[in-house]
């Protein structure tokens, strides 16, 4: 097994990001990443655009870098977002249940993005099906520290769904976000889509940023919890 360093939750010019996929690949390689899971907004895709998106991701993938396609889906009037990492086709759905099932049927990972207040009630129908939640989103939470309430939400989900994991997402829209990323280190034998997706689903990864290491279980030590509280109070005093 080798450690593969990569970023999750990346947006490109296919939706509301400021860079093309090929430029993102170049940029992320410069910052030491070996893969990226892109997740452009599903609402702007039709079947033809999705096919092009997947082809471009495949064309940018080689032995040195892997671009994994995926989409971000908006629910509840845009108040809730689900990431579908690794899917290569659009998902047609009329409910959260159908969406998560569709992501899984497409061989993907279903992750709750940047959990908003009240998430516990909103995700009731899919709590037992989610593969995880973003406990740290670089755009919503900042890069200094995650929010403590995201770990509390994960614990509630894991009480009924032990496989739910703690994910970290850079939520990259602007180039300068790549300079101080929230990233993951994944234990995978090969730098291939299926190998990375399987390793993520198996919890063979850690979330990293600002000298913090978060296990995929989301189980923090007392020192880590204290560190998060201190960093939050210093960097986000309005949230304390």
Neighbours of 135 (CB within 10 A): 28
State residue 225's pLDDT score.
87
State residue 240's pLDDT score.
37
State residue 136's pLDDT score.
98
Token pair for 182:
């929230």
> What is the CA 180 to chain-centroid distance, rounded?
16
The domain ranges of the chain are: 2-239
Prediction pTM value = 0.94
- Collect contacts of 45-54 with beta carbons under 8 A, ≥24 apart: 45/14, 45/71, 45/90, 46/90, 47/89, 47/90, 49/14, 50/88, 50/89, 50/90, 53/14, 54/88
Tens-of-pLDDT digits for all 240 residues of the chain?
899 999 999 999 999 999 999 999 999 999 999 999 999 999 999 999 999 999 999 999 998 999 999 999 999 999 999 999 999 999 999 999 999 999 999 999 999 999 998 888 899 999 999 999 999 999 999 999 999 999 999 999 999 999 999 999 999 999 989 888 999 999 999 999 999 999 999 999 999 999 999 999 999 998 888 888 888 777 754 443
* Homologous superfamily of 2-239: Metal-dependent hydrolases (3.20.20.140)
């Amino acid at each position: 097994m080798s450690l593969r360093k990569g970023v999750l939750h990346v947006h490109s010019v296919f939706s509301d990001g400021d860079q093309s996929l090929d430029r993102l690949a170049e940029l992320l390689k410069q910052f030491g990443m070996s893969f990226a899971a892109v997740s452009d907004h599903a609402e702007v895709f039709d079947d033809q655009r999705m096919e092009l998106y997947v082809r471009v991701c495949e064309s940018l993938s080689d032995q040195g870098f892997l671009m994994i396609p995926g989409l971000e889906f908006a629910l509840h009037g845009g108040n809730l977002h689900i990431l579908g990492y690794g899917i290569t086709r659009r998902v047609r759905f009329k409910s959260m249940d159908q969406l998560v099932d569709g992501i899984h049927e497409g061989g993907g990972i279903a992750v709750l993005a940047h959990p908003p207040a009240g998430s516990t009630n909103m995700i009731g129908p899919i709590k037992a099906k989610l593969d995880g939640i973003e406990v740290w989103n670089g755009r919503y939470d900042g890069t200094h520290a995650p929010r403590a309430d995201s770990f509390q939400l994960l614990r509630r989900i894991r009480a009924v769904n032990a496989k739910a994991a703690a994910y970290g997402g850079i939520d990259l829209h602007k180039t300068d976000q790549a300079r101080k990323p929230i990233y993951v280190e994944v234990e995978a034998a090969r730098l291939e889509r299926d190998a990375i997706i399987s390793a993520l689903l198996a919890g063979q990864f850690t979330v990293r940023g600002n000298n913090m290491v978060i296990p995929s279980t989301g189980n923090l030590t007392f020192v880590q919890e204290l560190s998060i509280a201190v960093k939050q109070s210093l960097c986000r005093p309005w949230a304390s």
